[in-house]
Every structure is written in structure tokens, then in C-alpha cells.
């Protein structure tokens, strides 16, 4: 069984986007290079600030929907519990 990830992206204005993927590195790369049209491209969401891993796709889908349903303040609390400085957790992933 493969790993699934629920993740949160942001930009310099701290706009938040929550998503789910089975390949976090590929998906973050798509967001950073604006390869897919949509919310993250429109709002320049290129910083990975939070992610969780699970081996169960249904748990990941449930968690993504749960987080998306939260108020912003609860999302910020989650982010700051694992990444208080809101640094880009993908820094260095794509350097050659």
C-alpha cells in the first residue's frame, strides 16, 4: 500500500490551500512551477508549510475534508504546532 499525504500550501500573504496526494514531492513541484491551473496557481501558493502522511487513502480523504471544513484559526493552530515559523518544508527538494 502506498503512502498518502494531506498538505497545506501558502504564499507571502498567508493564503491557505489544503490538498491530498499520493506523491507529495511531485505535487509540490507542480504547485511551485504552476503546472496545473487552479487556486494555487492563481494565488501563487508555492510554500509547503504542513503535511501529514498516512498509509490509508480513505483516512487521507477524510482528513483533507476535515481540515478544509475548519475555520482559518484552527488551521493556523495546526500549522504552528508543527511549523511555528511557517517555513517552506520543501526547501532544498528541487535543487540540482
Q: Which pLDDT score is estimated for 94?
A: 79
pLDDT digits (tens, 9 = 90+) for 19-61: 999 999 999 999 999 998 999 999 999 999 999 999 999 999 9
Domains of the chain: 4-82 (3.40.1440.10)
Task: Kindly report the length of the chain.
Answer: 96
Mean pLDDT along residues 6-13: 97
Q: Are 64 and 8 in contact (CB under 8 A)?
A: no
Confidence band of 1 (pLDDT split at 50, 70, 90): low
Please say if the pLDDT value at position 15 is more than 60: yes
**6, 18 contact by CB (below 8 A):** yes
Per-residue DSSP letter, 70: S
Task: Look at residue 87 in the predicted model and tell me its pLDDT.
Answer: 97
pTM for the complete prediction?
A: 0.94
Output the DSSP codes for 3-69: -EEEEEEE-TT---EEEEES-HHHHHHHHHTT-S-SHHHHTT--EEEEEEEES-HHHHHHHHHHHHH
Amino acid at each position: 500500500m502506498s503512502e498518502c499525504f494531506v498538505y497545506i500550501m501558502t504564499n507571502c500573504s498567508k493564503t491557505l490551500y489544503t490538498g491530498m496526494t499520493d506523491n507529495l514531492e511531485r505535487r509540490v513541484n507542480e504547485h511551485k512551477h504552476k503546472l496545473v491551473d487552479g487556486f494555487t496557481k492563481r494565488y501563487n501558493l508555492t510554500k509547503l508549510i504542513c503535511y501529514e502522511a498516512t498509509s490509508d487513502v480513505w483516512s487521507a480523504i477524510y482528513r483533507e475534508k476535515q481540515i478544509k471544513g475548519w475555520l482559518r484559526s484552527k488551521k493556523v493552530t495546526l500549522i504552528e504546532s508543527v511549523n511555528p515559523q511557517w517555513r517552506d518544508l520543501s526547501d532544498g527538494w528541487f535543487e540540482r
